[in-house]
């Protein structure tokens, strides 16, 4: 029988299903206890200490009761679940051993018994900040890679527009596009974010969409000859303006539509006929379908990181107590770069 090693376990709990925009008060902190031993008979599991947690916009979909959503809703009263970087304390799974570092789904708590670690990735290269595996080297990085290279089929010299461009995904899409030799412009919601795009991530240009009265005119200013590739993160009026400014045979990777997630009545897009006249390919995608490319992605991105050719800005929130505010902040643009919650340093 497994001996008992009881520890306190701080957790972030979903208190109620979210209606409208998420609030910090939809979540609460709770301290429960956990036996830091894998229970007898619990095969193929790992018990982990969580180090870094990732705040992601899709989590909102799991905090609401949405019919037909591609993920299950979180259980009320239970710790929320998300991507994180964790250290294995004990394992009954043949692929993992004590001391391994992994990234994948885990609980929003200090310690988690992961009963199905088959979707987790073992971290082999520790020569980079570990927190990168919540973003650049994790789900956000794979999203940028798959969305840009697989969905957009970019070519050297093409013009690329990215919305929510300074965030976890957008900052990488822009850097990948520059590596491809594209002309890249991003939109973001503050002057500081625009400065980051131009001065840190090497975008050719950038603008603050909150200061533009007419997105159509703004896009015409930055793309007088039109847009070949749009990496869509926001939806709504921006998508409509982009369609007006796309070039013939352009591609649109529909990654997200964050401006629509909290609206009771999502806005309509009234010029979809541009898809026909300009022969545009507009394709939605989910990163989940592309994880088989993870080794190829690491092979491409790691040398660039180590040579300083790809950089990554993270927004670190300290402690599980700060997790609800950090998650809610994604929907008002409070985060600058990838929003991470630091649970423990090691
Ligand atoms: N398809 C997939 O598999 C997949 C995977 C990951 C992410 N996504 C999607 O990709 C997008 C970016 O995700 P991320 O993780 O990189 O998030 P992020 O950009 O790091 O954070 C969200 C950002 O969205 C912007 N935003 C919030 N509300 C907005 C609004 N009403 N209008 C315009 N912009 C708004 C804010 O930036 P500003 O200050 O610039 O407004 C905020 O910082 C999201 O739509 C997400 O759902 C999709």
Residue 345: the pLDDT is 86
Q: How many A from CA of 249 to the centre of ligand 1?
A: 26
Q: Are residues 38 and 170 in the same domain?
A: no
Q: Are residues 336 and 247 in the same domain?
A: no
Q: Are residues 151 and 131 in the same domain?
A: no
Here the tokens at position 45 are 């599991």
199 within some domain: yes
Q: How many A from CA of 258 to the centre of ligand 1?
A: 5
299 within some domain: no
Cα–Cα distance for residue pair 82/105, rounded to 1 Å: 5
Closest atom of ligand 1 to CA, residue 56: 15
Residue 308: the pLDDT is 95
301 within some domain: no
Along the 346 residues of the chain, how does pLDDT read in single tens digits? 566 799 999 999 999 999 889 999 999 999 999 999 999 999 999 999 999 999 999 999 999 988 777 888 999 999 999 999 999 999 999 999 999 999 999 999 999 999 999 899 999 999 999 999 999 999 999 999 999 999 999 999 999 999 999 999 999 999 999 999 999 999 999 999 999 999 999 999 999 999 999 999 999 999 999 999 999 999 999 999 999 999 999 999 999 999 999 998 999 999 999 999 999 999 999 999 999 999 999 999 999 999 999 999 999 999 999 999 999 999 999 999 999 999 998 7
Cα–Cα distance for residue pair 239/254, rounded to 1 Å: 10
Closest atom of ligand 1 to CA, residue 284: 1
Backbone angles phi, psi at 284, to 5 degrees: -80, 150
296 within some domain: no
Q: What is the CATH number of the domain that holds 327?
A: 3.90.180.10
Q: How many A from CA of 21 to the centre of ligand 1?
A: 14
Q: Are residues 166 and 254 in the same domain?
A: yes
Q: Are residues 230 and 325 in the same domain?
A: no
Q: How many A from CA of 241 to the centre of ligand 1?
A: 18
Residue 240: the pLDDT is 98
273 within some domain: yes
Cβ burial of 28 (10 Å; 0-12, 13-18, 19+) is middle
255 within some domain: yes
Closest atom of ligand 1 to CA, residue 338: 20
81 within some domain: yes
Q: How many A from CA of 174 to the centre of ligand 1?
A: 14
Q: Are residues 94 and 157 in the same domain?
A: no
Cβ pair 192, 336 in contact under 8 A: yes
Q: Are residues 95 and 125 in the same domain?
A: yes
Structurally, the chain folds into a number of domains equal to 2
pTM above 0.95, yes or no: yes
Query: Which residue among 249, 272, 288 closes a domain?
Result: 288
Residue 296: the pLDDT is 98
Q: How many A from CA of 165 to the centre of ligand 1?
A: 8
Cα–Cα distance for residue pair 179/199, rounded to 1 Å: 16
What's the domain range around 117?
A: 6-135+314-342
Cα–Cα distance for residue pair 183/164, rounded to 1 Å: 17
Q: Are residues 169 and 259 in the same domain?
A: yes
Closest atom of ligand 1 to CA, residue 170: 16
Q: Pick from 20, 56, 57, 201 the residue to mutate for probing ligand 1's pocket: most ligand atoms within 8 Å of its CB.
A: 57
Q: Are residues 45 and 120 in the same domain?
A: yes
Q: What is the CATH number of the domain that holds 284?
A: 3.40.50.720
Q: Are residues 158 and 274 in the same domain?
A: yes
Q: How many A from CA of 163 to the centre of ligand 1?
A: 8
**Ligand 1 proximal residues by C-beta, below 6 Å:** 56-58, 140, 143, 164, 166-170, 188-190, 193, 233-234, 255-259, 285-287, 330-331, 333, 335, 338
Q: Are residues 18 and 125 in the same domain?
A: yes
Of all protein residues, the one whose alpha carbon is nearest to atom 32 of ligand 1 is 259
275 within some domain: yes
Tokens 């957790």: give the residue: 11
Here the tokens at position 252 are 């649109």
Of all protein residues, the one whose alpha carbon is nearest to atom 10 of ligand 1 is 256
Closest atom of ligand 1 to CA, residue 188: 40
Q: Are residues 242 and 259 in the same domain?
A: yes
């Amino acid at each position: 029988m497994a001996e008992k090693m009881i520890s306190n376990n701080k957790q972030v709990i979903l208190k109620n299903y979210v209606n409208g925009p998420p609030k910090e008060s939809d979540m609460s902190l709770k301290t429960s206890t956990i036996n830091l031993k894998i229970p007898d008979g619990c095969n193929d599991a790992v018990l982990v200490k969580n180090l870094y947690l990732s705040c992601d916009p899709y989590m909102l979909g799991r905090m609401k009761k949405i019919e037909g959503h591609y993920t299950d809703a979180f259980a009320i009263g239970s710790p929320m679940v998300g991507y994180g970087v964790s250290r294995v304390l004990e394992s009954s799974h043949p692929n993992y051993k004590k001391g391994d570092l992994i990234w994948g789904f885990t609980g929003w708590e200090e310690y988690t018994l992961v009963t199905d670690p088959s979707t987790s990735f073992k971290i082999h290269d520790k020569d980079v900040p570990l927190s990168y595996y919540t973003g650049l080297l994790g789900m956000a990085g794979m999203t940028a890679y798959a969305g840009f290279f697989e969905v957009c089929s970019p070519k050297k010299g093409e013009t690329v527009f990215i919305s929510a461009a300074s965030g976890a995904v957008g900052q990488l899409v822009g850097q990948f596009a520059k590596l491809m030799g594209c002309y890249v412009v991003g939109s973001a919601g503050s002057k500081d974010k625009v400065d980051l795009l131009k001065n840190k991530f090497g975008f050719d240009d950038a603008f603050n969409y909150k200061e533009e009265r007419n997105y159509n005119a703004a896009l015409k200013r930055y793309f007088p000859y039109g847009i070949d590739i749009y990496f869509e993160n926001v939806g709504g009026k921006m998508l409509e303006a982009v369609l007006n400014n796309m070039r013939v045979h352009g591609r649109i990777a529909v990654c997200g539509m964050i401006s629509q997630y909290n609206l009771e009545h999502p806005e309509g897009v009234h010029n979809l006929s541009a898809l026909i006249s300009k022969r545009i390919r507009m394709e939605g995608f989910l990163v989940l379908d592309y994880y088989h490319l993870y080794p190829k992605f690491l092979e491409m991105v790691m040398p660039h990181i180590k040579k300083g050719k790809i950089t990554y800005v993270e927004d670190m929130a300290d402690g599980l107590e700060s997790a609800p505010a950090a998650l809610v902040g994604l929907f008002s643009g409070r985060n600058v770069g990838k929003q991470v919650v630091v649970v423990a340093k090691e």
